[in-house]
Structure 1
Amino acid sequence: MDSNNMVIENIANPNELERLFREDPKAFKKAFAHAFEQTPDSPVLAVWYERLHFKEAANTEKDFFLQKDFLLMGILAILAGISTRIIFHFVEQQAIAPVNLAFGVLPFIAVYFVYKNQPKKYVLYCLAVLFLISGIYLNMLPLEYTDSIILAYLHLPVFLWALVGLAFTGNEYGKDSMRLAYLKFNLNFFVLYAGMAISGMLLAAITMQLFSFIGLNIEEFYFSNIVLFGAAAIAVVTAYVVSRNLKLAKNIAPYIAKIFSPLVLATLLAYLIAVIWLEKNPFLDRNFLIAFNGILLGVLVVTIFSITESGSDEKKNISDYINFALIVLALIIDSVALSAIVFRLSSYGITPNRLAVLGVNIVIWANLIWIMLSYLRFLRNKTGPSTIQDAVTKYLPVYGIWAAFVIFAFPIIFN
């Protein structure tokens, strides 16, 4: 967004002003400051000034714990904890697969977003049907750990993550700005959840130590009930906190992204140098190829989150060059991995694992190419940063489609 004139250009378009504010509040405020200096007598800008600088009275927070969305969050958190504990019971009895634990958390987060966004009926029905079908289909599969079924289990969280994204975006699921907001939500969610989880682990350690002093060993009970319940419930609470735009997670996430990007780049360079020095060969070493793909996924995640937290400022900075270097390295890794997978397919034949790894590498490779080309144009001053974010957001459904294909097609094809 042009901080000099974008607000002024749309001063007669309230819908566009609202969209710009929701898309990037920080950039909007910077643009508004310039606009208000130029036209302080504008009644439209006067209203926006009051909105941006309004201080709520202290007594408005007294009813915070009685707000509907807070009460709903509390109910959903309790239901998530109970559901997860029930599912875990059947997992312990080996009646269902452990991946079913995802159904103890993600549907409840989706329900909260549905309540918050009030999507149209066809979006609501689509969510309900897809959650139901995936749960039924997953548990109709034989409880056997064959390659195709394991792949279906591994891809289920990705598919459910895409469904939660649909609930998050609601009626605006086709808008890139909403997909970008969902990516930002994920980064803030994981940062805040990690902090809560560490606090929970410290509390668990202290609690068990205190009970051990009086001769009671509560470790098994505590982890099977309290910790499991808490882990599921806190996930819903974290989703609520982040979606409310509370400052705790919102202020930390950009710094986490900026700190980790150079660290990952340095680590990756050192690792690749060591790989070449020790003459490791992903074409022959299966475990090394798996590790190579794990590194690729990690780099992709760090890069995407760094891009989503970069905002829409037109100015380039060192983080952009670090991200570009990370993408180039990731492309090198992915190209080597693709070559190794094709070699193993031609040499040893087709298996579910090899085909799945080939597919996901092709999906990631195409996305990395798109992001790299967008970044290259941005660094050469031919486009703005929004084209980079488009390369991320417009491609997101492809990951969900691939995950759905592996979940529903692989067990049928290979069994």
Structure 2
Amino acid sequence: MTDGQDELKAQFAQWRHYVQRRRELRQSDAEELEDHLRGSVDELVAVGLRADEAFLVAVKRMGSLDDLSREFAREHSERLWKQLVLTGETDSPVADTRSRRDLLTMAICATGAAASIKVPELFGMSFEEDGAFYRPNVGLFALPWLAAFLAWRRHATKALIGVLLALFALGAVAANAYPLTDDSQSVVLTSIHLPIALWFVVGLAYVADDLRSPRRRMDFIRFTGEWFVYYVLIALGGGVLIAFMFGTFEAIGITPEDFITQWLLPCGAAA
């Protein structure tokens, strides 16, 4: 009996070590999983199985650890970077390929957003002289690319993709149907409310894999808050780096003001 208990402890130690290697799980999540596994083992031992047999059956019943770690990461410690990058089976070649594909797609979308904000300049517009155009349309430069990535990541249906395209097109029409001057109150109202409306379109792409799930909608609310916090932190860090870069180039007699204001700031903010 003692040997069986010692073997069971060793099996739990090995399982615990493997679980703790999963970066998706916090310590409290791993402990909750272990408690669940121990409860299952105790139940199986109570009905006559040996300890080592009970452990193997209990682990099998729990299913794939990758699936469990993904579910726990989403339920208990969902964070923005995990939602966008988390792919699960981090030790398998298939998962490694999928992770690289996700990262490449994310980079393409970020590049597309950065390039989009420069497209109007091809038609003779500029930030200084055409503020009445840029302010209402600011959300249309970046948010469609974010929605595209989420829709791709969530395997959105063709029908939903069509709805997303139609809603973004409607936003573009609403922002540009009537020519407005810089001092128009409509410019201010559109600049405030259109990005908010388009963010709900992004939310539709976010819940594309389970449109009827209340949990997914709550996840999007959490995603929104964390996105805002991370965006502000990145912006503050970027501001410090820009100031450092500006001072460095000024010290050697180069003024990078045009590059910073015309390229780095707008493209970086969009990406």
What interval of TM-score do these two structures reach, taking the shorter chain for normalisation? 0.5 to 0.7
- CA deviations on 1:177-196 (whole Å, 9 max, x unpaired) are 00111112122222322332
The aligned runs of 1:114-263 (5 Å cut-off) are 114-144=151-181, 145-233=183-271
Equivalence for 2:59: 46
> Partner letter of residue 37 of structure 2?
F
Is 1:75 the counterpart of 2:113? The answer is no
Q: Determine the C-alpha separation between the residues in 2 that align with 1:65 and 1:25.
A: 23
Report the structure number with the largest CA radius of gyration: 2
Cα gap change, 1:140 to 1:215, in 2 (>3 Å):
same
Alignment of 1:204-353 (within 5 A): 204-233=242-271
Matches within 5 A, 1:19-30: none
CA-based RMSD: 3.3
Mark the CA change 1:72 to 1:56 in structure 2 (over 3 Å): closer, same or farther: closer
Q: How much has 1:151 moved relative to structure 2?
A: 2.2
State the 1:173 CA deviation: 2.4
Distance 1:198 1:97, change over 3 A: closer
Report the equivalent of 1:366.
Answer: none
Judge conservation of contact 2:136–2:190 (CA < 8 Å) in 1. Answer: no
**Gaps in structure 1 of 5+ consecutive residues:** 1-23, 234-415
Supply the distance in 2 between the matched residues of 1:26 and 1:158 (Cα, whole angstroms). Answer: 37
Distance in 2, Cα, partners of 1:36 & 1:175: 28
Structure 2 unaligned spans of 5+: 1-24, 42-53, 70-87
CA contact (8 A) 2:138 2:195 kept: no
Residue 103 of structure 1 aligns with an amino acid whose one-letter code is: L
Q: What is the identity, as a one-letter code, of the residue corresponding to 2:236?
A: I
Determine the structure 2 residue equivalent to 1:92.
Answer: 128
TM-score normalised per structure 1 = 0.44
Counterpart mapping for 1:370-409 below 5 A? none
Structure 1: how far apart are the matches of 2:156 and 2:40?
A: 38
Displacement, 1:207?
1.1
CA pair 195-219 structure 1, distance change in 2 beyond 3 A: same
Provide closer, same or farther for how the CA distance between residues 149 and 211 of structure 1 changes in structure 2, counting only shifts above 3 A: closer
Give the AA of the match of 2:177.
Answer: M
**Alpha carbons 1:97, 1:143 under 8 Å: kept:** no
The answer to whether the Cα contact below 8 Å between 2:116 and 2:141 also exists between their aligned partners in 1 is yes
Counterpart in the other structure of 1:393: none
Q: Relative to 1, partners in 2 of residues 1:157 and 1:55: Cα closer, same or farther, differing over 3 Å?
A: closer
Q: CA deviation at 1:129?
A: 0.2
**Cα deviation code 1:326-383 (max 9, x no counterpart):** xxxxxxxxxxxxxxxxxxxxxxxxxxxxxxxxxxxxxxxxxxxxxxxxxxxxxxxxxx
Q: Give, as a single letter, the amino acid of the residue that structure 2 aligns with 1:231.
A: A
Per-residue deviation, 1:90: 4.4
Q: Distance in 2 between matches of 1:44 and 1:131?
A: 51
Distance between the aligned counterparts of 2:239 and 2:55, measured in 1? 54
Displacement of 1:75 in angstroms is 1.1
